[in-house]
Structure 1
């Protein structure tokens, strides 16, 4: 009897959590809104998979991972400035990592896609999925690690910034 009751409590908890999360996400309005067809036309298949379907690129596949040139990292979908190169560091994880974002340009959300809560990072302009935030970053700075899919970013060198 206790096993059945425990099982029912878990099912009830999970069903309530996901519906509340979905309802909150549906209420969020972004400055740039496009149809799936428009996004598919503008983005590569890899960009669409990550930015619009919250996918994850394979570790160690992004050329941005080892890019330490001076410049700016912008959203590949809408070109919003997201990260400055001075806050990029080598986390050894295989994904570009930053200890902070440009103020107000990256949204923190919660996702439960793998069964527990994680802090999801999204572009605050178009809602594109960027990656996740973890508390194992550089202790001398923020202690945060923004683990970002390189395909979600484009790099603009300092000499090309308007």
Structure 2
């Protein structure tokens, strides 16, 4: 598991929380995926996006109803995503696809009162804490015509020379 000694897990509505447009992220590596039909992508059994079969390479239309494991993800527009087949063996990956933006209908997205700033890689970062969170970690939101999903990350505790932490758990032990 992840040690929380250096921080806390962000919630979807906490300041600094990141929301990404990309269908895949590094946190997906090792997780199971399933394509139902030729276009509905699920990760760990949770709906993620509708695949535009012309946007992913190879075209998913040739691989209807496939399952496997996510082996590698490069976060970025058209970043490389490597997927296994149903044997879930990443030593012999089966498909190389492009990391593309989420694609769904407006009916599948929820609206939110979150306020964002644009992050360095095009993701949206929550500006201020929202007292009553109106989304969940599984929500897909629409902002300015783009669909985004919450990207779970660790919010680090401050521990700098200017503002050192007094808690021993936040400090690196000596060898």
TM-score, normalization: structure 2?
0.23
Structure 1 or 2: more strand by fraction: 2
- Rg larger in structure: 2
Structure 1 or 2: more helix by fraction: 1
